[in-house]
Structure 1
């Protein structure tokens, strides 16, 4: 069931206008439709109109809203021919390319109270067990599935477009998201600043640290210093075994541990 603040402002504006209508039946029917019967098809029709029937624009419109889901993206893919025909009728020129779109940062955030997403066989078993009922999937897994679908639709995370997502995933210890982004071309060094690795070190996520280093992130004395400051002993041991040399500041900190 949709929440009131999940709805786009255009629908809320229309609801506000209708609330002054003397015909309360219309108001009640619209409210019921918005809050109780918000289907994937309804959301698709909305973003289709907002994107003026051009597929990339429709996807760009869908990215803005909280009702974004794998089902909605599947619906857009399924109706590709319909969108192409509609764009031709409107004589709309294509200005955007799919690889130019950017995945919203909110999709890389994680709920601390929920399990991290799973991949591989565990993911397939989870999706099979839930079937069409997405209520059995946690918010973290839902976000992972949406990002995975967007990447399959050729949205790019190369050349800095996935840097924010990689850093947020590393900060949260979201190993499956980190793996997915790296596999699709995200920069492990994050523009040369190594921020993703430093985030993983500061928050003590050793599996993420290992994966980033494997993908090319350099093991540095700064990373080691951060690990010592935060007293993440497993991270400290692993970094030192893999070539991180402590500077004088780090040595003094180590003496205090």
Structure 2
């Protein structure tokens, strides 16, 4: 549910204009109720108007605002028939935007360290079943009664990215491989799996920066998934692991055949 501070100035103005009434008290009360109970439907009407009823631009407009949610994306999909798609004849270059040209904003790959990591739908069902059994037994494992992990901001971002990728948006972020790099750095394994499933490239420019970030920050599970997807194991990754003293990653890389260079050998001697 969007809060008053999450709504852009344009939406506030639009609400005031749509509620124009001779009775100022009625207008203010109606506007106040709308702001307190902003629905995905109302947000959809706003981005629909701002996007000029063109599906790609409606989606691009939704990505710009903090009230972006799965509910808003559901509204776009539900009313897809009334939205215009880009035709073959494009009179204006500004209208050449296609859904596949839209890139995911970097903020969707942020991770709040104080909250639980996202989980897939299958894992969420298993967790809810496990929590239900523990609750019947009178056990409490620290999880919220309403499934706190599902309500976390990390989970919300994961669900939004998953829905956007299902709508054929580009798996690349604002600056190329941003999503995969940020997810690897944060150790967000579910997001890494999701991006790889939709075609994220683990090798950009001849090297895997995502793997190096996972090694530097000690995310062994993410590093294993990237190597499984084709990320090359290099001596540089081994050097970073030695510098950061990640013993498990060091042993794993050497088992895969990573050969230490002279700089790495000197670092190993100091351990």
Using the size of structure 1 for normalisation, the TM-score is 0.85
Match of 1:141 in 2: 155
Q: Which of 164, 170, 174 is residue 150 of structure 1 equivalent to?
A: 164
Match of 1:76 in 2: 76
- Alignment size in residue pairs: 248
* 1:38 and 2:38 matched: yes
Alignment of 1:1-257 (within 5 A): 1-12=1-12, 23=24, 26-34=27-35, 36-84=36-84, 94-119=95-120, 121-125=122-126, 136-157=150-171, 163-257=177-271
Q: Distance in 1 between matches of 2:243 and 2:255?
A: 18
Q: Distance in 2 between matches of 1:199 and 1:215?
A: 16
Q: Structure 2 stretches of 5 or more lacking a match? A: 132-145
Q: Distance in 1 between matches of 2:127 and 2:52?
A: 36
Q: Which whole-Å deviations, capped at 9, do the CAs of 1:156-185 have from their partners, x for residues lacking one?
A: 226997610000000010111111111111
Q: Is the 8 A contact 1:158 1:186 kept in 2?
A: yes
Q: Which whole-Å deviations, capped at 9, do the CAs of 1:20-43 have from their partners, x for residues lacking one?
A: xx9465345423422x11101110
Give the ranges of 4+ consecutive aligned residues of structure 1 lying more than 4 Å apart after TM superposition.
12-18, 91-94, 124-129, 133-136, 158-162
Larger mean Cα displacement after TM superposition, 244-253 or 5-14: 5-14
Q: Distance in 1 between matches of 2:25 and 2:54?
A: 36
Q: Which whole-Å deviations, capped at 9, do the CAs of 1:182-218 have from their partners, x for residues lacking one?
A: 1111101133231111110110000100011111111
Q: Is the 8 A contact 2:185 2:217 kept in 1?
A: yes
Give the alignment's Cα RMSD to 1 decimal. 3.2
Q: Is the 8 A contact 1:189 1:217 kept in 2?
A: yes
Instruction: Please state how far the C-alpha of 1:114 moved relative to its aligned partner.
Output: 1.2
Q: Structure 1 stretches of 5 or more lacking a match? A: none
Q: Cα distance 1:227–1:213, how it changes in 2: closer, same or farther (>3 A)?
A: same
